[in-house]
Amino acid sequence: MPRTVDLFLDSDQPLGRVAEQLGELSSARFVSSPDQAHFVVRDGDVIAYLTDHDFLDDDDLPLSEFRYVLSASVPRGTSIEDSSELSFLRRINAELRRSGAFPSLLVIDLERPDAAPVDAR
């Protein structure tokens, strides 16, 4: 039961263009799957997948307002708060906020928004 960190982001651009823009922002390389259905990015041991999603809105998580999600699974036995996955997605989220490229929402295990303020990341 790996826990996940999900960075939801919205854009009217197609997935490939969003992957390009995220790559420019994060200086990471987003690689397309053969069927172009998702992109994968690696940062050290962290592996995250960019794709569209069909999750439902839940209380303070308006997930349907965001077309895409960049998801990373935290290895079992690792604290999610101390994980490289959360650090990586917080970094990208901070870059998104700074650049104003896309609206974004960082969510922990599909249960709660990330509590850390963007400026503190």
Partner 1 sequence: MKGRPQARLPLQPAAGGRAPHPPEGPSAGGPGPGPGLPWSCRHHGVAGTFDEAERRASHDELAVARALAAEGHQVRTVAERNGARTPDLMACGTAVEVKGYQSLAQRGGHPPTARSVANKLLDARGQGAVAVVRGGESGLTRATAQAGYAMFCERALEKGLGRVRAVRVVGKDFDISWAAAADVRQSRQARQGVRPASQPRRLLPPGLSGPVVPRLSL
Burial class (CB in 10 A: 0-12, 13-18, 19+), 92: buried
Site membership for partner 1, residue 116 (CB under 8 A): no
Q: Which is nearer to partner 1, 17 or 112 (CB)?
A: 112
Q: State how far the Cα of 85 lies from the Cα of 99, in Å rounded to an integer.
A: 21
- Residue from 25, 28, 47, 101 that binds partner 1 (CB under 8 A)? 47
Site membership for partner 1, residue 44 (CB under 8 A): no
Smallest CA-to-CA distance from 6 within 88, 94, 116, 76 is with: 88
Q: State how far the Cα of 61 lies from the Cα of 41, in Å rounded to an integer.
A: 24
Q: Which of these segments, 7-15, 47-55, 82-90, 97-105, binds partner 1 (CB under 8 A)?
A: 47-55
* Count of residues that bind partner 1 according to CB under 8 A: 22
8 A C-beta contact, residue 30 and residue 97: no
> What is the nearest approach in angstroms of partner 1 to the Cβ of residue 101?
25
| Contacts of partner 1 in 50-69 (CB under 8 A) | 54-59, 63
Q: What is the dihedral of CA 69, 62, 79, 77, to 10 degrees?
A: -60
Q: Which is nearer to partner 1, 2 or 14 (CB)?
A: 2
Interface with partner 1 by CB under 8 A: which residues? 1-2, 4, 40, 42, 45, 47, 54-59, 63, 73, 75-77, 109-112
